[in-house]
Amino acid sequence: MDRRTEGIDFVIGVDTHKQSHTSSAVDSLGTELATAKVAANAAGYRQMLQFARTHAAGRRIWAIEGTGRFGRGLTSDLLERDEPVVEIDRPSRPARRLAEGKTPREIRRCLKRSVARRLFKLLEKMPEMA
């Protein structure tokens, strides 16, 4: 395992929308531990952080979709609290189409794998920390 990723115990993936944010806490093996949906406002950001502290207590990183748009408020709030954040792109149209017709569980599994792959690719590009 690469030194840049070996210190991460959990990933909190966040799907951002104008009115709400949905998150999934995943451990280093890719097991989904819990999910949460909160309002996209200051109270919701506090709930999201409490969710992470409860279900992903340890070395975690936030993978947020759209940090410059709907995820801007959450991202700013987390960074002010020294939480590590990386931006991920929303799934491409072909990836979303592959999920059509699948059960909600299958969709979550596909999206978790996609997010994890993109996150680890981003981390591999980061300079190593001594």
Sheet architecture: strand order including 60-65: 32-39, 20-27, 10-16, 60-65, 85-88
Alpha-carbon distance of 119 to 82, in angstroms, equals 19
Alpha-carbon distance of 83 to 66, in angstroms, equals 17
Distance from the first to the final alpha carbon of the chain: 16
Q: Considering the entire predicted model, what is its pTM?
A: 0.70
Alpha-carbon distance of 48 to 73, in angstroms, equals 12
Map out the domains of the chain with their CATH numbers.
10-124 (3.30.420.140)
Amino acid 81: pLDDT: 94
- CB 52, CB 12: distance < 8 Å: yes
Alpha-carbon distance of 40 to 111, in angstroms, equals 21
Amino acid 73: pLDDT: 94
- Please choose, from the candidates 13, 9, 7, 1, the residue with its C-alpha nearest in 3D space to the C-alpha of residue 119: 13
- Tens of pLDDT along the chain (130 residues) come to 344 456 788 889 888 889 999 888 988 877 889 989 999 999 999 999 999 999 999 999 998 887 778 889 999 999 999 999 888 766 555 555 555 555 666 666 666 666 666 666 666 666 554 4
**19: exposed, middle or buried (C-beta count within 10 Å: 0-12, 13-18, 19+)?**
exposed
